[in-house]
A and B are shown apart, each in its own frame.
Chain A
Amino acid sequence: MLEYNKKIKEIAGRLLQECAVEMIIGFRKGTLPMMNEPYFAKTPADVENLVWDSNCGINLANYLTDRKEKIGIIAKGCDSRNIVTHIQENKIKREQIVIIGVPCKGMIDKRRITGMVKGEIQEVVEHDGQVTIKGDGFEETFTKQDVLQRNCAVCLHRNPVIHDELVADPVTEQTDVDRYADVEAIEAMRPEDRWAFFDDLFKRCIRCYACKNACPLCYCPTCFVDEAKPQWVGKSQDSLDIKTFHFLRAFHCAGRCTDCGACERACPVGINMRILTKKLEMDAKNLFDWEAGLDLDVRPALDGYKPNDPDVFIK
């Protein structure tokens, strides 16, 4: 995906030069390897700082919420779906944004890579589907496909669903992936084992709320976790409070989550809270034939009533 850089800079430079947008939301190199950070380019000179590689996992749609100016935004498949969701939920207007679409081949999992090598990683270089990790006294090369973020490995929408400019030809979508294997594995457990599974999963949660802050869907001015009157959920480290937090946060994303993986990526202790949102996503697909953010003109499944909506759960 490195070849995208030139094209991204060219398009971004042109948009800023023509004053078609006031800023471009993209990525610049982070201070640590595999940690690209969001960057707002506001002048044609800033464009030189924009980068694109396999460390752009953050969902940039998160930065569009309630913006008033004209914005150019670089969007991979999942970002574009969240932009559609944002437009549908009136968090931004379509005519305010110029979407620079990036066909994506997946982002690499920094946590997994860090665990695969011994020592501190100083440099990560990509070339032809390979990722080379360099550090003090070691150098290892992995196939990118083997070190993808877990959500990218099972992604079905790599190409932007909506775009004004496209930096390259669309990539081939994956077809032979089993998106819901992890959820199905938990469903096969007995209820008490599931309860124990989630106890264990959330054991390390420190309730820093990085997951909700990174999530483009979590834009409420006051989150339910911060409310005091009424207090919806306990604020302690009690395992039940943690579980309730994750349960409710996930539920607020029902029928909206695009499985962009921003939550899991942002988690400082590596909790796979995506299991919950993925279960909702799976049910939305199976029960309502709904996938979030694919089409601007179709109202979300949970937004309306259809006579054939499944109702077997109502006695």
Chain B
Amino acid sequence: MLFKNLMELMGIEPGRIQFSWISSAESTKFVKVVNEVTDEIKALGPNTRFVKEIAKVA
């Protein structure tokens, strides 16, 4: 929780990082959560923050 909040403070959009706990017996919950997460992330678009492309040499 502290981690997620700190990431969001530094500029990661709310909804980009998600946590869940699903038992192996909860298949419906699994499908539901996966669908929700993918929908939310698609709405946010590709992540650009904390992505390193090529190191800039000073």
The A interface, classified by DSSP as helix, strand, loop or mixed, is helix
17 CB-based A-B contacts, threshold 8 Å: A187-B9, A191-B8, A192-B11, A193-B11, A194-B10, A195-B10, A195-B11, A234-B55, A241-B55, A243-B50, A250-B6, A254-B2, A255-B2, A280-B2, A283-B6, A311-B1, A315-B37
User: A198-B11, A237-B58 are contacts. A284–B6 as well, Cβ < 8 Å?
Assistant: no
- Is B41 located at the chain interface by the 8 A CB criterion? no
Question: Total interface residues on B, using CB and 8 Å?
Answer: 29
B57 at the interface (CB under 8 A from A): yes
State how many angstroms separate the Cβ of A273 from the closest Cβ of chain B.
12
Question: A residues near B, CB below 8 A?
Answer: 183, 186-187, 191-198, 234, 236-241, 243-244, 247, 250-251, 254-255, 276, 279-280, 283-284, 287, 302, 310-311, 313-315
Q: Which of the residues B2, B8, B18 comes within 8 Å of A251, measured between beta carbons?
A: B2
Contact call A283/B2, Cβ cutoff below 8 A:
yes
Question: Are the CB atoms of A240 and B52 closer together than 8 Å?
Answer: yes
Q: Count the A-B residue pairs with Cβ separation under 8 angstroms: how many?
A: 82
The complex places the Cα of A315 from the Cα of B19 at a distance, in Å, of: 6
Interface contact A276-B52, CB-CB below 8 Å: no
Instruction: Identify B6's interface contact among A236, A280, A314, CB under 8 A.
Output: A280
In contact, B14 and A191 (Cβ under 8 angstroms): yes
From A193, A283, A314, give the contact of B19 (CB < 8 A). A314
